[in-house]
Structure 1
Amino acid sequence: MITRVRSELTRYLRTETVGGALLLIAAAVALIWVNSPWGASYQTMVDTQLSIPALHLDLTLADWTKDGLLAVFFFVAGLELKREFAVGELADPKRAALPVIAAVGGVIVPALIAFTIGYGVPGMDRGWAIPVATDIAFALAVLAMTGSRIPPSARVFLLSLAVVDDLLAIVVIAVLFTATLSMLWLGVALACCAAWALAQRRRLHTPLFYLPVALVCWYALHEAGIHPTLAGVALGLLTRVRTDPGERTAPATHLEHVVQPISAGFCVPLFALFASGVPLNSAVFGSLFTDRLSLAIICGLLFGKVIGIFGVSWLMIRLGWVKRPAGLGNRDMFALSVLGAIGFTVSLLVAELALTEVGTDAMDLAKAAVLVTSMAASLIGSALLLRRGRVHQARRDADEHKRTEKGRRS
């Protein structure tokens, strides 16, 4: 009974709908808490120090969620990336071309818009990266809830787009937020990656080896001056995705089934709880649509993502360089492009990394811009998907009616 219940809970947490719902609940709790009479207790929790003196780790609880728990999220992203490129939708160059090109457009255009609007604003030398990311869990949750009548190719396109988008965002994080580099600790991290890859090659399965290697790799990158969440991506990409003869599942598939519920049910919601606590006072609302920092993020995320994803996709399809996903029209692609403007998790992370030195007010304003824009994109995208769903259902009903009438005549 216990095993069956645990299995059902794991399956439940693995669905995009539940992962996105938990993310939204955690963010809502943070917003309500910080703007309630007990808001001081929220800030006390966020700033609480949890240190490990022996390892020279002096981090707040918020830092642990940002640097530690998100490494688990990025590990799952790394596993998904490896699987998609090796045996999934991105393994076929012809099928991978459109979401890859769309993802590139969805990174470059928002960055250019944000940099142009926010040029000269303190923090925008790196803050232009805030609107470049699409939140996989949030976007797929909205699609699952409101796009059930859209052809299945829509999910494949959005998932592939978000996976490549996250890969590009990870590269941006690695380049922008590596201030000082310790070659000694970088060597230790690379040695851990090599040990992980060798163990995969030798078909070693015991977690007693992999867990210590992962922890040392995370710590080594932290000490090297590189954002430690990249340890998750690196180890995920080094995990084997193909099954051996007689093997039930590949290690990447097994690890994803084990780790994804932990990421979706605990790590990402807890990060959202600590990162989404933005005081929504008159000063924030007054600056949200007037301050160039927030306008750069809003325009970059909402307009930049839609223009970059849909515009590049439309152009490539029109030129005949790529094929449109089966069953999807331009309006379907536009609705999916709007979902690409949901930049929750990674955008909040980049906002914290980019604006730490600028000040709390700028960081809160940037987070508020991300939250407002992501919610707007989810609502607009949901409305568009529901409308397109009715159109597709009407077409299916008409086709079924024609087949029925033809059968009666014959």
Structure 2
Amino acid sequence: MTERTPSPARTRRPYRLLSRRSWPEARFLADVLRTETVGGGLLLLGAVIALIWANSPWRSAYAALGTWVPFPGGHGLHLDLDLNAWAADGLLAIFFFVVGLELKREFVAGDLRDPRRATLPVVAAMGGMVVPALCYVAVILTTGGAGLRGWAIPTATDIAFALAVLAVASSHLPQGLRAFLLTLAVVDDLFAIIIIAVFYTADFHPLPLLGALLPIAAFALLVQRRRTWWWALLPLAGLAWALVHASGVHATVAGVLLGFAVPVLPSRTGRPGLAERLEHRWRPISAGLAVPVFAFFAAGVSLVDVDLAGVLTDPLVLAVVAGLVLGKTVGVFGSTFLLARFTRAELDEEITWADLFGLALLAGIGFTVSLLIGELAFGAGSAADERVKAAVLLGSLIAAVLASVVLVRRNRVYRRISERESRDSDGDGVPDVYQEEAA
């Protein structure tokens, strides 16, 4: 009897999840992660200083600093904001501008342009958004607590904080896992932007928003023509920010729209795309200044004369912690597992499900955007906002500790993979593993 030849469909190799990126992508990723790791350290420093100051005998000075208005006469241009508002509305616009650049680059030239590669981070981010929100709502409803408006608080992942935890834990995650974590955070930020714009816009005024389209269009025209005149672009960006702020839409959305306007593809001369160059220029400002300063003003939770037992059993606190620690882990890990199950994809041969579980725990670190959504949901400085701050800090700390415990156990394996991924025997600047794959 003639033996039947297997069909191509049966002999096709299964698609590998969390595999290594190409060398150009890996090099760009390394630069991004290096900057974000340093920024994460500064973020932690800002948060620790705020916590210490807010609980010291000089806590009144900390509170007074946050409510100081540097431009009291700027009401017409919406500049009469206190420092707390400038940190949340102004500095975070820089953070979201970089997010906009990163999103466009990923969709045009990065992994998200490939439907197969985009599927995993998109599905994981959706799971990591829906399940935490459901956990939050379930806890609020079952405990009879108030605060359903804060359902989106545990849906965000703070990539800088997560990378700082990896640095402290000395974890040498393989490149595939780091790339997944970064792309997951990018898609996560996209969902956060949509949530903020749709669900947390109060007192909407359409005319200023329509007016903002003019400076945004002028900004887009200049950058599309590769005209990077700072004396023109910065005033246009500032005007767009002021008009979006006046419209009632959170002003950080202006940063995202401006980031989307920047071209990604390389120029005819072979120079990197403008989005990559601007991201390289503005990411250190975002990670090293904007986010740490926001953390300094947002994380100052005073525990003086506070009933800690009452805080830890508060329904709002329990809902946020459950969403970050349980919801994020189940959402990210569960959605990835189901994707692999139904598409018959397999994890990369060097990665195990335990590694992905540790990464899902790490995704429960929700700091910057979680604190921002808490302020938008309940009002900056309100009693509920103070409980949200305590909950985000507690939930992020628990997620960081649990993730470190899981990931450090495999650190010896990670270190061996990292050494192999960086080995360059011929000294040509390209690690051997990428040349072997190309061959």
Q: Give the 5 Å matches for 1:366-385.
A: 366-385=388-407
Q: 1:121 aligns with which of 141, 145, 155?
A: 145
Displacement of 1:396: 9.5
Question: Does 2:187 match 1:187?
Answer: no
SS of the residue corresponding to residue 233 of structure 1 reads helix
Is the 8 Å Cα contact of residues 97 and 259 (structure 2) preserved in structure 1?
yes
Q: 2:105 aligns with which of 59, 80, 83?
A: 83
Is the 8 Å Cα contact of residues 34 and 279 (structure 1) preserved in structure 2?
yes
Displacement of 1:43: 0.6
Cα 1:88–1:63 shift into 2, 3 Å? same
Partner of 1:36: 56
- Give, in whole Å, the separation in 1 of the partners of 2:62 and 2:327: 33
Is the 8 Å Cα contact of residues 125 and 332 (structure 2) preserved in structure 1?
yes
Most deviating of 33-42 and 348-357: 348-357
* Per-residue Cα deviation, 1:39-83 (whole angstroms, up to 9, x for no partner): 111111111123323424331110010000000011111111111
Partner of 2:260: 237
Most deviating of 245-254 and 277-286: 277-286
* Per-residue Cα deviation, 1:248-279 (whole angstroms, up to 9, x for no partner): 22111111111111111111111001000101
Cα 1:295–1:91 shift into 2, 3 Å? same
Question: Does 2:355 match 1:341?
Answer: no
Q: 1:130 aligns with which of 137, 141, 153?
A: 153
- Give, in whole Å, the separation in 2 of the partners of 1:205 and 1:392: 42
Is the 8 Å Cα contact of residues 338 and 381 (structure 1) preserved in structure 2?
yes
Partner of 1:101: 123
* Per-residue Cα deviation, 1:192-247 (whole angstroms, up to 9, x for no partner): 22222222322322122211111011001011110001111111112111111214
Equivalent pairs: percent with the same residue?
49
SS of the residue corresponding to residue 279 of structure 1 reads coil
Displacement of 1:305: 0.2
TM-score (ref. length: structure 1): 0.89
Cα 1:325–1:175 shift into 2, 3 Å? farther
Cα 1:12–1:38 shift into 2, 3 Å? farther
Cα 1:175–1:121 shift into 2, 3 Å? farther
Partner of 1:405: none
Partner of 2:222: 199
* Structure 2: runs of 5 or more not aligned: 1-30, 420-439
Cα 1:186–1:12 shift into 2, 3 Å? closer
- Give, in whole Å, the separation in 2 of the partners of 1:54 and 1:169: 29
Write 1 or 2 for the structure with the bigger share of helix.
1
Displacement of 1:19: 0.8
Partner of 1:356: 379
Displacement of 1:382: 1.6
Q: Which amino acid is the alignment partner of residue 201 of structure 2?
A: T
Partner of 1:150: 173
Q: Which amino acid is the alignment partner of residue 121 of structure 1?
A: G
SS of the residue corresponding to residue 55 of structure 1 reads coil
Cα 1:280–1:43 shift into 2, 3 Å? same
Question: Does 2:332 match 1:312?
Answer: no
- Give, in whole Å, the separation in 2 of the partners of 1:39 and 1:202: 50
SS of the residue corresponding to residue 306 of structure 2 reads helix
Q: 1:262 aligns with which of 257, 264, 285?
A: 285
Displacement of 1:321: 5.6
